[in-house]
Structure 1
Amino acid sequence: MSGRTVLITGASSGLGEEMARQFAALGWDLALCARRAERLEKLRDEIGAAHPERRVVLKALDVTDDEAVFRVFAEFAEEFGSIERVIVNAGLGKGAAYGTGRHDANRQTAMTNFVGALAQSEAAMEIFRRQRRGHLVMISSISALRGMRKAMTTYAATKAGVAAMAEGLRSERVPGLDVSVIYPGYIRSEMNEHVKQKTKYMVDTETGVRAMVQAIEKRKVKAYVPSWPWVPIAAAMKVLPLSVVRRLV
């Protein structure tokens, strides 16, 4: 056992799945949860073959079920003895322009990405306050920096909320607590694989997640990843008119 355990939600696919692989390679034991338990089992087998010394514990979890979030996080903490890092990663990318009859899609994204992140953060903080140490990592999005249009409006709003939640916790200055917000740019994942048109600045999953993991390992307060081109784009997005932001991202 490594003595270092990272808990990753939404670990059955996309960024969460690749983070699990990369953290295992860095020597972390893994507490992995997601709705699709069969996908987690496949990932555990893959990681076990590549890194047999790593401990990997799996649990099915729907992050919109508050009671289940608190129970699963507590079970992980009990099984491992301590949780050094929690990555609030589970997310949904559904959405539609407001007033077009798809409130259901926007609500589902809001409940998963924001209310679900609230439950995960609460559950993580119970563990960290008890341990008097921990690293809370919130996966936001570059879209959180400004309001986005049409299908992205609710998604961007939830990711801005996640970032504000993290900043509030950091402002509280809880002893022993580090808080990081990661703002991924365009990283290929199952969430966006349905997008057929070529997207500017898109990188493959492994490359994008490597940049995320490097920032997390450094416990950066905030990180726009990959740094090129997203650091300068992020700076520009904060001051440019919305008409220009629309063309930029």
Structure 2
Amino acid sequence: MSKGTILITGASSGLGEEMSRQFAALGYDLALCARRTERLDALRSEISAASPDVTVAVKALDVNDDDAVFSVFKEFAAELGTIDRVIINAGLGKGAPLGTGRYDANKATAMTNFVAALAQTEAAMEIFRAQGSGHLVMISSVSAMRGMRKTITTYAATKAGVAALAEGLINENVKAKGIDVSIIYPGYIASEMNEKVANKTKFMVDTETGVRAMVNAIEKRKEKALVPAWPWVPLGFALKNLPMPIVRRLT
């Protein structure tokens, strides 16, 4: 018997792809969406072979297409009967130091990571409010703890922004209406987004290990979780609270 239905955006690669595998192994039915449908089809075949009792629905979705976000979410809900959890995971990691002529890259990241996340949040919350239940999961980043420098300045700002969106819902006390909200702050977890710097980055963990920590926090419906807990709980506290000259040395 299914444990519920989870919709995951950006499911064709990286953290979204691995979350799909791990939630399927736990017995959840899945609604997976991304731009690269050939990769979604391959992932569905893989999951169906490993977990034949799990239903996996896939749809093409560019999260920057607002109308498509609302229609795809509604189509999944109609097809599967309910959406119990939405994981807003789709994201972009492009960026450059501000004022260096790459506004295009920074704007693309801002539009995908924040504006598109707003559309996904709106679409998910419409479904949850109508159902009277649901679990919204926002994938932020430890970089959201503080303003970051150079190439990740805009990325960090978008991740702080989406965390604030989700925190606003917590402040609204949507839990009283049957809706849980979780903000997940992943540390350095290997994925396609960071593969060029993975071998040079301290505290980087492999995708499976890092995502397992994410899945565990999501399953516990924690309101906020830095994952993996070590070293990111103490490092996250340091990033958020230490004087900027010290933060500059840490990052």
TM tier relative to shorter chain: over 0.9
Q: How does 1:128-167 map to 2 (within 5 A)?
A: 128-167=128-167
Which is worse superposed, 172-181 or 9-18? 172-181
Q: How does 1:177-196 map to 2 (within 5 A)?
A: 177-195=179-197
Residues matched between the structures, number: 249
Q: Partners of 1:196 and 1:145 in 2: how far apart?
A: 21
2:190 touches 2:198 (CA, 8 Å); kept in 1? no
Cα offset, 1:109, TM superposition: 0.3
Q: What is residue 200 of structure 2 aligned with on the other side?
A: 198
CA deviations on 1:209-235 (whole Å, 9 max, x unpaired) are 000000000000000000000001111
2:33 touches 2:61 (CA, 8 Å); kept in 1? yes
CA deviations on 1:3-37 (whole Å, 9 max, x unpaired) are 51000000000000000000000010000000100
Structure 2 residue 176 is the aligned partner of structure 1 residue 172: no
Cα offset, 1:247, TM superposition: 2.2
Q: How does 1:89-104 map to 2 (within 5 A)?
A: 89-104=89-104
CA deviations on 1:118-138 (whole Å, 9 max, x unpaired) are 000000001000000000000
Aligned identity (percent) is 74
- Over 3 Å counting, the alpha-carbon distance change for 1:218 and 1:89 in structure 2 is same
Q: How does 1:12-161 map to 2 (within 5 A)?
A: 12-161=12-161
Which is worse superposed, 238-247 or 148-157? 238-247
Q: Which amino acid aligns with 1:176?
A: G
CA deviations on 1:73-121 (whole Å, 9 max, x unpaired) are 0000000110000000000000001111110000000000000100000
Q: Partners of 1:140 and 1:204 in 2: how far apart?
A: 18
* TM-score normalized by the length of structure 2: 0.97
Q: What is residue 225 of structure 1 aligned with on the other side?
A: 227
RMSD of aligned Cα (Å): 0.9
Structure 1, unpaired ranges of 5+: none
Structure 2, unpaired ranges of 5+: none
Structure 2 residue 14 is the aligned partner of structure 1 residue 7: no
Cα offset, 1:246, TM superposition: 2.3
- Structure 1 residue ranges, 4+ long, deviating more than 4 angstroms after superposition: none
- Over 3 Å counting, the alpha-carbon distance change for 1:193 and 1:169 in structure 2 is same
Q: Partners of 2:213 and 2:14 in 1: how far apart?
A: 15
Q: Partners of 1:192 and 1:16 in 2: how far apart?
A: 14
- Over 3 Å counting, the alpha-carbon distance change for 1:246 and 1:57 in structure 2 is same
Q: Which amino acid aligns with 2:223?
A: V
Q: What is residue 208 of structure 1 aligned with on the other side?
A: 210
SS of 2:201 mapped into structure 1: coil
